[in-house]
Amino acid sequence: MSYKSPVWLLMTIVLLGLSSLSVSANDDSLFVPSLGARSQGMGGTGVASTYDLSPAFGNPALLALGSPWNTALSFRHPSRRVQDFSLYANGQCPRKEYTWGVGLDAVKASRRMWPGRTSAVRNWRIQGTMAVARRVYDELVAGIALKPARWRLYGEKSTSLEADLGLAYPTRWRDVDFVVGAVVRDLLGSEVTRRDHDTALDVSALLGVAGRYFADDSLWEFSAAVNLEAVERDFVADPQGRFRIGGEAATHRWEGYRLAGRLGHDGEHFTFGLGFGWRFLKVDWAKTAWTKWEHGQNLTVSIDPLGAREYLYELFGEKAPLVNWRDSIGVYRLEQFTHYDSSAKASSDAAYYDTTQYDETRILYHNARVFADDDDQIARADRGIANSEEALDRWKFVADSLIRETHLDSLLKAERNLTDSQHRELLSRADTCFRHRDYICALELIDMVLAKDSANPEALSLRSDVEQGRELEIVFSLVLADTAERENLLGRALEAYVHILYLDSLHEDGQTGKERVEERLAIRRFVDRAVRAYQAGQMAKASMAFDSAAALDPNLKGLQNILSGFNTNAADTTSLDVIRADTSAYRLYEQGLEFNRNQEYEKAIEVFNKVLKKYPNSPAVTKERDQALLMLQQAG
């Protein structure tokens, strides 16, 4: 088989991939949402790609996928107008779900030969990204990375500046990921004495900002990073013998040693990383603390087949594989993330903390829904409730998985007894759940011990304490719900009743209270909607809303009086909808509004009186006419 055969290319890529796989893919990290991947924002994977600011090795979309491992294989078609097409795949296998994603990058770039400059200069680059993710739901992610011109700062000197902008928009959420940055590069050694080849130290500094905009909550989050990288590069003169690193068209041949560092901060926590490399191999490691309890580690192994081809040529000459392969293959990378501390207890404590946080968020959204002014606000609150409930379910899954980190539940299924140490471990974790007032979790763990040792005195004693704590929690929640109902805080009361049913799904007071509060919430919503419609002169909508409230509770105190008075007024008034159907009258009404805005109050009064002559019982027109009269009196 010839060394020129494409089979050699495929075998080499597979071997390189397996070598990366053996180093990196050794963890079954739990699923973490896309926000956790924000530390990827600068320099791809932190320090792996110094002047590629786009998240996830040039692919903004993969930032939103948030996967523990990613692979990237890019193909370059050699031409004067560079065309790059990159295919990405990522996935993960946590304990209870499978996630995958694929992405495609299409890059359009231009290079120009500038006389007296160093080789070709890229003056623009546009990169478009499309990715599809499969988590619990389907998600389509679109992204774009823009790389404007690289400007020479000092004429013939070798210093240059490059700017980047990356955006990603996942369709599931209305959040936008972005990254903006600039790179300054300098080749130390602008003059050389030898005519054939020489080496120079390529030093670059990156300053970038990445973040996410939460559209539903109108919130911004930012993180910033500084990357420093020094690479030894070997240059050869061009075919005409010209050679000057800073000013002439010297050609870059290979990289030597490489050292990189990264320091980032998101306003609360630091991220740091180190990287080293030699020729075609790069290894980068980064560590970040997104919160005081959640830590991320990122190990990236990058292999550049083009550099490997040059190295193999030095070793084997013309017989080396890939040497005569014209199309160069881009960088292959494999990433690995570890998202949690080794301490299962610290992680379970943190998961409980986030569970409490999402519970509070859900209560706020419920209250916001009760006092919503329009359908848009109600829909926004519903989205917030759904998002917080999904986040709550996710964190409960995380806590549940962490508690079972040692896979003791699988031992229970085996036909053997647990050891005393395993009993103590289960009871210790049950005690942690008990102290965090997660009584259901504690009971499940205790029952796992009692299933094999029904007479375990420590388990029986702890179970008695947990049952007593659960009863006290139910009593406390009943008092809280009753107080909230009396104070008319129906959203808080509903949450209390839901919590009671979580502790005891058959609790009668919890079931009846939940139904009662839900009915009161519905009545309040209809009555508020009717009042707002009546004030706006929308009589048909107001009547429908009042009828809906009366259908839920016809004996509601005061409602019959409201309805009778309302119906009497409704029969004698003309809504704005009726006037809007009369083209000529509504045109006069709009003219009056325009006169009011222009402070021409006498004309406005005259026009409004013409409308009232035809519709004398229109509260909307009367209100505008009276306002014009008042403003005219104040002006006089």
Same domain, 215 and 131: yes
Kindly state whether residue 1 falls inside one of the protein's structural domains: no
Q: How far apart are the first and last CA of the chain?
A: 102
Whole-angstrom Cα distance, residue 10 to residue 382? 51
Residue 333 neighbours by CB under 8 Å, 6+ apart: 20, 45, 48, 57, 70, 71, 72, 300, 301, 302
Domain end: 340, 363, 391, which one?
340
Query: In terms of pTM, does the model score above 0.85?
Result: no
Residue 231, pLDDT score: 73
If you average pLDDT over residues 491-498, what whole number do you get?
82
- Taking only the tens place, the pLDDT of each residue in 441-493 is 788 778 877 877 778 888 888 888 888 888 888 888 888 888 888 877 777 78
Identity of the highest mean pLDDT range in 112-116, 394-398, 411-415, 552-556: 552-556
Q: HSE of 509 in the Cβ direction (CA atoms, 13 Å)?
A: 13
Short-list 366, 367, 370, 299, CA closest to 336: 299
Closest CA to 16 of 281, 291, 321: 281
Rounded to the nearest 10 degrees, how much is the dihedral formed by the CA atoms of 170, 176, 177, 179?
Answer: 140
Q: Are 586 and 565 part of one and the same domain?
A: no
Which residue, chain included where needed, has tokens 């909550």?
A: 217
> Do 505 and 456 lie in a common domain?
yes
Which token pair is 441?
Answer: 């979790």
Is 243 inside a domain boundary?
A: yes
User: Which pLDDT score is estimated for 149?
Assistant: 43
Whether residue 274 is contained in a domain is answered as yes
Residue 175: DSSP 8-state:
E
Please, are residues 297 and 337 in contact by the beta-carbon 8 Å criterion?
Answer: yes
Q: Domain end: 484, 505, 522, which one?
A: 522
* SS (HEC) of 529-552: HHHHHHHCCCHHHHHHHHHHHHHH
Q: Give the separation between CA 107 and CA 90, rounded to whole angstroms.
A: 20
- For residue 319, what pLDDT is reported? 60
For the chain, give the mean pLDDT. 59
Q: What pLDDT is attached to residue 411?
A: 40
Q: Which of 536, 557, 572 is the last residue of a domain?
A: 572
Q: Which residue did the predictor score with more confidence, 317 or 23?
A: 317
> Do 156 and 69 sit in the same domain of this protein?
yes
Q: Is 189 exposed, middle or buried (0-12, 13-18, 19+ CB in 10 A)?
A: middle
Length of the chain: 636
- Cα separations in angstroms, 547 against 34, 509, 543, 554: 45, 29, 6, 9
Confidence (pLDDT) at 329? 34
Query: Is 191 in the same domain as 303?
Result: yes
- Assess whether pLDDT exceeds 50 at residue 583: yes
**Structural domains counted in the chain:** 4
Kindly state whether residues 177 and 319 are assigned to the same domain. yes
Report the C-alpha gap between 25 and 617 in whole angstroms. Answer: 76
Is the pLDDT reported for residue 514 higher than 80? yes
Amino acid at the residue 144: I
Range of the domain at 491: 344-522
Q: Does residue 9 surpass a pLDDT of 80?
A: no
Residues 357 and 271 in one domain: no
**Same domain for 381 and 247:** no
Residues 527 and 549 reside in one and the same domain: yes
